[in-house]
Amino acid sequence: MKFTTPANRNPIDRLKVVGQSTQRIDGPLKTTGTAPYAYEQNDAAPGAAYGYIVGAAIAKGRIGSIDVTRARAAPGVLGIVTADNAGKVGNGDFYTARALAGPDIQHYHQAVALVVAETFEQARAAAQLVRVQYVQADGAYDLAKAKEKPPRRQPLQQKQPRDTAIGDFEAAYAAAPVKLDATYTTPDHAHTMLEPHATIAAWDGDRLTLWTAIQIVSWGTRDMAKILGIRKENIRIVSPYIGGGFGGKGSVLADAVLAALAARQLGRPVKVALQRPLMFNNTTHRAATIQRIRIATDKAGRITAIGHESWSGNLGDNPESATAPTRLLYAGANRMTRLRVAHLDLPEANAMRAPGETPGMMALEIAMDEMAEKLGLDPVAFRILNDTQVDPESPSRPFSQRQLVECLRSGAEHFGWERRAARPGMRRDGRWLVGMGVASAIRGAQVQKSAASVRLDARGVITVETDMTDIGTGTYTILAQTAAEMMGVGLDRVVVRLGDSTFPPGAGSGGQFGAASSTAGVYAACVKLRAMAAQRLGLDGANVEFLGGRVRAGGTSKPLTDAAVGGDLVAQDTMEYGDLNKRFAQQTFAAHFVEVGVDAETGEIRVRRMLAVCAAGRIINPLAARSQIIGGMTMGAGAALMEELVVDKRAGFFVNHDMASYEVPVHADIPHQDVIFLDEADPTIGPLKAKGVGELGISGVPAAIANAVYDATGIRVREYPITLDKLLDRLPPIG
């Protein structure tokens, strides 16, 4: 099926199942510990040996020699994989860094060996006996020093252009009566998902099966085929449950590649889970940025010029696309954005929840508050004044839906914005300085080609199959809701099977495109299944209705189960898309409001309450969507107040590579969160008129917190995270 024109009314619009708050159907499995994650697929691959990765102890250089004599002789050891015996190991399309070092070292903790033994403890003990002699080389580890140097290779093709220019930014900026020129910095961030990167690999002749934690299964088969030099058709990936990803499990990484190499070498299944320190330095992260923002307005506060320049570093040539929100969020005739990437010999930077928008709005939305203060305008009013209903870079291209103003107004009303003090540092609650902050949010509403198959059996059960994954977002449930709505049955009559590359290729989990894309694929397959069922029942397919387990047309009603009496009905289809994304700017929007307390003596910051008002198309499952938003809000609080991968700029690695020293928020840090979804259905996105929400929840949140801290204290911090040492010597006098 191809989606080329805006959706009309269809069976989804009945909203008997879709649009209803529904408990996750996979919830009982996860809460009882019976959902098999990658490392726990012991029944599927019995007798698996255990692998333990030895990570490089330098960040730049090469391996002089590896002595594995003592390790190979250790109790239980079955084999040791190094570059010397692994054979040719290539690169996939998604990641730049190689899974196995040798002879060159690209970054700290890059895998140099995998020790395999009968037990995990034996593998770990033997790994300590591997002796590696390194030849160290000088590397680049400091973004501030490296940012003006060009990358070592030509930039890769990007969906977002590196530079944009509309009008004459420099002239308009110079001529404006009110302007801001400020620089903001964001640090490197870690995904810190609960489940480690983990894989069990097994070979059957020349066929490889991987039970692995991965977000986009089709990328994994593609990349593993390129890395190992085998046919993609000979690879099966199974990933039914994933314990968090946030972009960090997009495709196959060292755990999968080394497990596959070891299993081939030993002729037996091998399981590998990355130890927690390697998750910080061996895998990917969100790149640090240095961002310069310039905004100019007329005396009334209308933006006349807006410019955003961002520098980030990477092992490869992909920049953190921090300028993305500035291109679409506010009006302004004269515009400029520039993305620059410097080569750094740190671990690879890649996608992390709302890549681009998260760090971009950490800067842009503070700058908007600073401009509002210069103009003497309320921050909410300033944002509303500069709203636009068309793409500011292409005014002939309207937004498909844009309710940012309503998000801001509704949020201000619900949050009690009118109680905000006229000047910073004026509100107190005992020892606490109290402040409120706001930030707009924008995140793309992408859709991707996605396929599914649906089967109706004689019991009236609908089975959905697609290689789409569920990374804790509720995919099982929303796909079941889609099939139940389309086929007119209850959720108890739907079975969903996910995360297997033998199933039709779904969109995968990432980029906020998973929900809208995968449900559209199920919709397309159900359209075919409805037609097949109607034909077998002898009913007119053009006017047929599926409801309550029955099929009705022209006054005739028959049980749906009768359609499968002669054998199961199976339909498969793929939802593909035309050019609606070119004709319309398709985005999601939100307004985030935060209240904080800052201890007047110590500078300790406490988030008191948070509110997100979101406009994100039809919400398929409000309960699951709310969970996605509050999860994003919590990650935003971490980015604002505590998360920072600290770089050792002499040795080139992230120092705080564990969960004791890389701090993330806990429940006590986030006492109260509210989420409001505005009524919206976007017919240009797909037949469900739904958009993703998973990344909208984090976008804008750190800046809302930063703005609240400023409102509480009068201290403007432009360098994240906002820790108490950046406040202590500037706090208002006590008493």
Q: Domains in the chain and their CATH numbers?
A: 2-35+447-578 (3.30.365.10), 377-443+586-730 (3.30.365.10)
Which of 230, 241, 256 has its CA nearest to residue 94?
256
Tell me if 294 sits within 8 A of 179, measured CB to CB.
yes
Tell me if 440 sits within 8 A of 388, measured CB to CB.
no
The mean pLDDT value for 77-100 works out to 97
| Max CA separation in the chain (angstroms) | 84
Which of 80, 13, 70, 27 has its CA nearest to residue 49?
80
Which of 190, 359, 402 has its CA nearest to residue 281?
190
Express each pLDDT in 444-468 by its tens digit. Answer: 999 999 999 999 999 999 999 999 9
Total Cβ atoms within 10 A of residue 664: 16
Express each pLDDT in 589-632 by its tens digit. Answer: 999 999 999 999 999 999 999 999 999 999 999 999 999 999 99
Beta bridge partners of 496: 464
**Cα separation of the two ends of the chain:** 69
Confidence of residue 153 (pLDDT cuts 50, 70, 90): low
How do beta strands 545-547 and 550-553 pair? antiparallel
Amino acid at site 455: R
The mean pLDDT value for 310-331 works out to 96
What pLDDT was estimated at residue 734?
Answer: 82
Tell me if 18 sits within 8 A of 485, measured CB to CB.
yes
Tell me if 246 sits within 8 A of 72, measured CB to CB.
no
Token code pair at residue 477: 């449930």
Residue 157 has pLDDT above 70, yes or no: no
Which of 116, 128, 256, 240 has its CA nearest to residue 196?
256
How do beta strands 432-444 and 587-599 pair? antiparallel
Backbone φ and ψ of 485, nearest 5°: -65, -45
User: Computed from CA positions of residues 665, 668, 669, 674, in that sequence, does the dihedral angle turn out positive or negative?
Assistant: positive
CA 247-695-3 angle, to 5 degrees, is 95
- Of the ranges 148-162, 329-343, 414-428, 565-579, which one carries the lowest mean pLDDT score? 148-162
Tokens 């009768």 map to which residue? 562
d(CA 655, CA 652): 9
Q: Give per-residue burial for 132-157: e unless 16+ CB within 10 Å, then b.
A: bebeeeebbbbbeebbeeebeeeeee
**Residue positions counted in the chain:** 735
Half-sphere exposure (CA, 13 Å, Cβ side) for 633? 31
Is the bond into 721 cis (omega within 30 degrees of 0)?
yes
Residue 158 has pLDDT above 80, yes or no: no
Residue 109 has pLDDT above 60, yes or no: yes
The mean pLDDT value for 147-160 works out to 60
Which of 55, 501, 468, 30 has its CA nearest to residue 272?
55
Active-site positions read: 695
Which of 191, 189, 192, 223 has its CA nearest to residue 208?
223
d(CA 265, CA 554): 65
Token code pair at residue 39: 């490392």
Question: At 166, which helix (H) or strand (E)?
Answer: strand 163-166
Tell me the chain's radius of gyration from C-alpha atoms: 27
Amino acid at site 295: I
Token code pair at residue 682: 């976007």
Express each pLDDT in 355-403 by its tens digit. Answer: 999 999 999 999 999 999 999 999 999 999 999 999 999 999 999 999 9
Express each pLDDT in 662-705 by its tens digit. Answer: 999 999 899 899 999 999 999 999 999 999 999 999 999 999 99
Question: Could you tell me where the beta strands, DSSP code E, fall in 91-148?
Answer: 104-105, 111-117, 131-136
Tell me if 285 sits within 8 A of 347, measured CB to CB.
yes
What pLDDT was estimated at residue 383?
Answer: 98
Tell me if 598 sits within 8 A of 713, measured CB to CB.
yes
What pLDDT was estimated at residue 154?
Answer: 43
Q: For the chain, what percent of residues have pLDDT higher than 70? A: 98
The mean pLDDT value for 85-114 works out to 97
d(CA 585, CA 719): 32
d(CA 520, CA 718): 42
User: Computed from CA positions of residues 215, 217, 219, 222, in that sequence, does the dihedral angle turn out positive or negative?
Assistant: positive
What pLDDT was estimated at residue 160?
Answer: 67
Which of 504, 512, 521 has its CA nearest to residue 442?
512
Beta bridge partners of 49: 270
pTM: 0.97
Express each pLDDT in 582-591 by its tens digit. Answer: 999 999 999 9
d(CA 342, CA 716): 28
User: Computed from CA positions of residues 22, 28, 33, 38, in that sequence, does the dihedral angle turn out positive or negative?
Assistant: negative
How do beta strands 494-498 and 462-466 pair? parallel
What pLDDT was estimated at residue 481?
Answer: 98
What pLDDT was estimated at residue 155?
Answer: 46
Token code pair at residue 324: 């993305």
Express each pLDDT in 425-451 by its tens digit. Answer: 999 999 999 999 999 999 999 999 999
Which of 215, 715, 679, 297 has its CA nearest to residue 469?
215
Q: Coil, strand, or helix at residue 183?
A: strand
Q: At what angle do helices 701-713 and 622-641 cross, to 10 degrees?
A: 50
- Classify burial at 560, counting beta carbons within 10 Å of its beta carbon; exposed 0-12, middle 13-18, buried 19 or more: buried
d(CA 324, CA 362): 12
Arithmetic mean of pLDDT over the chain = 96
Q: Coil, strand, or helix at residue 198?
A: strand
Token code pair at residue 679: 């009524």
